[in-house]
Amino acid sequence: METINIIDAPKHVNETVKIGVWLTDKRSSGKIAFLQLRDGTAFFQGVVLKNIVGEDVFDEAKHLRQESSFWITGEIHEDTRSKFGYEIQVQSIELIGTSEEYPITPKDHGIDFLLDHRHLWLRSSRPHAILTIRNEVIRATYEFFNKEGFTKIDAPILTGNAPEGTTDLFHTEYFDHDAYLSQSGQLYEEAGALAFNKVFSFGPTFRAEKSKTRRHLIEFWMIEPEMAFMHQEESLEVQENYVAFLVQNVIDHCASSLEILNRDVELLKKYTKTPYPRISYDEAIEMLNKGGIPAKWGDDFGSPEETYLADQFEQPVFILNYPKAIKPFYMKPHPTRDDVVICADLLAPEGYGEIIGGSERAVDYDYLLQQIKSAGLNPADYEWYLDLRKYGSVPHSGFGLGLERFLTWVTGEDHVRETIPFPRLLNRIYP
Ligand code: 4AD
Ligand code: MG
């Protein structure tokens, strides 16, 4: 007899198999018990018939508690009434671990209670569906960048630089030195691009932001590609192709997860069409004012502005060339205007806001040194970075996609906290 996973049940119809499972729910009458089972790969039903298993096994089945674990042996049958399409007709049960008073019951629990029990909540079908999609997005990310000829260059997590500004750094001690948890791997990816041409990183990113919005995590994961000999226009094409590829792969490989989450797949299909629209920051300000949303040139966009702008389009939209004053030091200055830089944010539809921030990079040594100084940074910490402009500086561009922001949008969740296994929030580092 073969030991299998629930996900492989379709390959074993009418065979007797053994599966290690947990009980999620059950109901029973005098002669029949229905066990809702999960093994981490899928959820399905076990049917226990008293006249087949006998009094003892039936009794044992009836007394199993939520989240107790056991080996189950039985025959796989098709079950046209369930979404999964298969069930197991139970022959025997071998208890492994008992479970008394499992805290997460089928009733409604508040979000704080669920987050306090995140280590258990991961077992429930919605978190399971979201994290299954997360896994697919990571897989598809590697596929995309591999097929496009990128090399993965890992950026350090302990660093001595602040690419995105000094306000939200996580400070730590590094023996006798000050250090920060990485805010972005970008500067290292720039070094990587000048060594490997097209590179990307995928790693944890830390922002000690005192913001408590549904879009902010203190620790999040970012994918940061960087391309040598590439201007911004071409980088935008990489960005839209990458995002469309991710959405298509989620549609193709995560149908049952999307169904559990009730995500409108027809809507997702619209996001696989490229190119995405592009408007300038100047046009965005005009659009906001026409729509009755007060915005003046120079303002950064918050959630209401981003939502309004994105609502004017059916696909994600690029907002190009923001004011220099509200963007980081490393962005390429505009060739004919000194008030804007060559950059773009990609805003997701349906009110999800910025999912990508990217730019062409400044290549001129003197300009960059000046920028570092006026950002209040210590040039000595950036000497290595300035070297990249000293020895064969080339046009190069890159961007960062926030994995959890992307997932919140694709899964249709309200809050970014549900798209990472163990969220770090302003008031939460437990569990
Ligand atoms: O716009 P950001 O700050 O850009 C950078 O860090 C650049 N160095 C990227 C690059 O060009 N290589 O962050 C990029 C993305 C945002 O668009 C957003 O999706 C995500 O990272 N992000 C966050 N996600 C969750 N919680 C936060 N606090 C986030 N801050 C940024
Ligand atoms: Mg940004």
**If you measure from the C-alpha of residue 38 to the centroid of ligand 1, how many angstroms do you get, rounded to a whole number?**
36
**If you measure from the C-alpha of residue 174 to the centroid of ligand 1, how many angstroms do you get, rounded to a whole number?**
25
Regarding whether 182 and 50 lie in a shared domain, the answer is no
Quote the pLDDT of residue 344.
99
Ligand closest to CA 302: 2
Regarding whether 318 and 271 lie in a shared domain, the answer is yes
Regarding whether 81 and 129 lie in a shared domain, the answer is no
Domain CATH code at residue 136:
3.30.930.10
Ligand closest to CA 168: 1
Domain assignment present for residue 365? The answer is yes
* Pairing outcome for strands 32-38 and 69-78: unpaired
Q: What is the pLDDT of residues 64-74, one digit of tens each?
A: 999 999 999 99
Regarding whether 174 and 79 lie in a shared domain, the answer is no
Regarding whether 126 and 84 lie in a shared domain, the answer is no
Domain assignment present for residue 106? The answer is no
Residue ID of nearest Cα to ligand 1 atom 2: 357
CA distance readout (Å), 230 to 141, 220, 289, 343 = 20, 27, 34, 13
Q: What is the pLDDT of residues 206-219, one digit of tens each?
A: 999 998 899 999 99
The structure's pTM equals: 0.97
Regarding whether 158 and 89 lie in a shared domain, the answer is no
Regarding whether 145 and 226 lie in a shared domain, the answer is yes
Residue 207 CB less than 6 A away from ligand 1: yes
In 216-348, DSSP assigns E strands to 219-228, 278-280, 317-320, 343-348
Domain assignment present for residue 428? The answer is no
Q: What is the pLDDT of residues 302-322, one digit of tens each?
A: 999 999 999 999 999 999 999
Q: What is the pLDDT of residues 101-137, one digit of tens each?
A: 999 998 899 999 999 999 999 999 999 999 999 999 9
What are 333's strand-pairing partners? 341
Regarding whether 265 and 410 lie in a shared domain, the answer is yes
Q: Which of 145, 184, 355 to mutate to test the pocket of ligand 1 (most atoms within 8 A of CB)?
A: 184
What values do phi and psi take at 252, rounded to 5?
-70, -35
Residue 404 CB less than 6 A away from ligand 1: yes
Number of other residues whose CB lies within 10 A of the CB of residue 392: 8
Domain extent for 295: 118-419
Domain assignment present for residue 111? The answer is no
Q: Tokens 């309200």 label which residue?
A: 414
Answer with the one of 97, 127, 147 that is the final residue of a domain: 97
Domain assignment present for residue 21? The answer is yes
The confidence band for 48, taking pLDDT boundaries of 50, 70 and 90, is very high
Regarding whether 35 and 124 lie in a shared domain, the answer is no
Answer with the one of 46, 62, 97 that is the final residue of a domain: 97
Q: What is the pLDDT of residues 356-397, one digit of tens each?
A: 999 999 999 999 999 999 999 999 999 999 999 999 999 999
Regarding whether 367 and 291 lie in a shared domain, the answer is yes
The confidence band for 85, taking pLDDT boundaries of 50, 70 and 90, is very high
In the structure, ligand 2 is a single-atom ion and the residues with CB under 5 Å from it are: 357
Residue 357 CB less than 6 A away from ligand 1: yes
Residue 168 CB less than 6 A away from ligand 1: no
Q: State the closest ligand 1 atom to the C-alpha of 345, by its place in the atom list counted from 1.
A: 17
Answer with the one of 41, 68, 97 that is the final residue of a domain: 97
| Burial state string for 345-382 with b = 16 or more CB within 10 A and e = fewer than 16 | bbbbbebbbbbbbbbbbbeeeeebeebbeeeebeeeeb
Handedness of CA 390, 393, 397, 402 (dihedral sign): negative
How many domains, in total, are found in the chain? 2
Regarding whether 224 and 85 lie in a shared domain, the answer is no
Residue 184 CB less than 6 A away from ligand 1: yes
The confidence band for 188, taking pLDDT boundaries of 50, 70 and 90, is very high
Quote the pLDDT of residue 250.
99
pLDDT mean over 85-96: 97
Domain CATH code at residue 92:
2.40.50.140
Regarding whether 415 and 294 lie in a shared domain, the answer is yes
**If you measure from the C-alpha of residue 400 to the centroid of ligand 2, how many angstroms do you get, rounded to a whole number?**
8
